[in-house]
């Protein structure tokens, strides 16, 4: 293990939060309880990332495809989002965390949209860590939405560069993720941050998301310190 005081710390970490339902099943709990335990883990993740010196965190909390799950599960998740935006967001604000919701916000009920906007406005000047929550998020949807905004703004083909395109993605102005973590043993990115992940490192762990603690985060950072990042050179 690399000594903590000399480790390189990723500036931006991305997390694909997987395994909530499998975790609950393994514990003999209702599957929906796994989602609650997973959401409870988010505040701890932010605390641990602040402690390590990470500046940006993006979590894949609800994909554009997740709307196809059962009505019971979707309704349960919507209520968790309401709770998170009401209670957890205030705690994050007190920790000087900037909260941003990335995704198709317009897909949500009006009261949830209002809460999202209020939280983003309230925390917009915080600077210790930026916490991006992917809700109704999909990497392809993000690229499509960016393209639509470019067309709407009337840009000419010769004006469009990689740098210009990056001004239209959901996480405009933020660095690309250094490491993308997926929990629960799956080894795919499921459309997460397709534009931003061009040179990201990937870390896959068998640990289900509700069990992802500070020790697991240390393993991610230690693994990152073993990688040689060449960026195509």
The residue-averaged pLDDT of 114-138 equals 97
The whole-angstrom separation of Cα 29 and Cα 38 is: 13
pLDDT in the model for residue 87: 86
pLDDT tier at 7, thresholds 50, 70, 90: confident
Tell me the DSSP string of 101-121.
EES-GGGS-HHHHHHHHHHHH
pLDDT in the model for residue 57: 98
Instruction: Assess whether pLDDT exceeds 80 at residue 25.
Output: yes
Q: Are the beta carbons of 4 and 215 closer than 8 angstroms?
A: no
Q: What percent of the chain has pLDDT over 70?
A: 97
pLDDT in the model for residue 152: 97
Q: At what angle do helices 71-83 and 31-52 cross, to 10 degrees?
A: 30
The whole-angstrom separation of Cα 111 and Cα 82 is: 9
Alpha helices by DSSP H, 62-179: 71-83, 89-94, 110-123, 139-152, 162-165
- Tally of residues, the chain: 233
pLDDT in the model for residue 28: 95
Kindly list the distances between the CA atom of residue 126 and the CA atoms of 12, 57, 118, 131, 204, in Å, as whole numbers in the listed order. 16, 14, 14, 10, 31
pLDDT in the model for residue 224: 96
Query: Any idea which residues carry the catalytic annotation?
Result: 18, 66
- Which residues sit opposite 12 in a β-bridge? 56
Q: What percent of the chain has pLDDT over 90?
A: 91
Instruction: Assess whether pLDDT exceeds 80 at residue 2.
Output: no
Q: Per-domain residue ranges for the chain?
A: 4-138+178-225
Instruction: Assess whether pLDDT exceeds 90 at residue 228.
Output: no
3-state DSSP assignment of residue 134: strand
The residue-averaged pLDDT of 190-201 equals 96
pLDDT tier at 229, thresholds 50, 70, 90: confident
127 exposure class (CB count in 10 Å sphere: 0-12, 13-18, 19+): exposed
CB atoms < 10 A from the CB of 106, how many?
8
pLDDT in the model for residue 1: 55
The pLDDT mean for the chain works out to 94
Instruction: Assess whether pLDDT exceeds 70 at residue 29.
Output: yes
Place of tokens 């009920």: 109
pLDDT tier at 187, thresholds 50, 70, 90: very high
CATH classification for the domain delimited by 4-138+178-225, as one of 3.40.50.10790, 1.10.10.10, 3.40.1180.10, 3.40.228.10: 3.40.1180.10
pLDDT in the model for residue 147: 97
The residue-averaged pLDDT of 18-27 equals 95
């Amino acid at each position: 293990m690399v000594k903590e005081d000399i480790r390189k710390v990723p500036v931006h970490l991305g997390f694909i939060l997987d395994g909530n339902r499998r975790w609950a099943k393994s514990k003999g709990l209702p599957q929906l309880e796994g989602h609650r335990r997973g959401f409870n883990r988010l505040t701890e993740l932010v605390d641990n990332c602040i402690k390590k010196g990470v500046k940006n965190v993006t979590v894949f909390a609800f994909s554009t495809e997740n709307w196809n799950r059962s009505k019971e599960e979707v309704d349960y998740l919507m209520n968790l989002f309401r709770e998170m935006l009401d209670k957890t967001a205030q705690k994050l604000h007190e920790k000087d965390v900037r909260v941003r919701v990335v995704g198709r916000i317009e897909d949500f009920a009006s009261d949830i949209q209002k809460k999202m906007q209020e939280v983003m406005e309230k925390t917009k000047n915080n600077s210790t860590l930026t916490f991006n929550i992917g809700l109704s998020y999909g990497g392809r949807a993000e690229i499509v939405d960016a393209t639509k905004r470019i067309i709407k703004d009337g840009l000419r083909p010769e004006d469009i560069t990689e740098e210009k395109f990056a001004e239209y993605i959901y996480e405009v102005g933020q660095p690309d993720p250094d490491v993308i973590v997926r929990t629960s043993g799956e080894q795919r990115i499921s459309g997460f941050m397709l534009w931003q992940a061009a040179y990201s490192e990937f870390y896959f762990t068998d640990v289900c998301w509700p069990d992802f603690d500070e020790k697991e985060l240390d393993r991610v950072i230690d693994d990152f310190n073993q990688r040689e990042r060449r960026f195509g050179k």
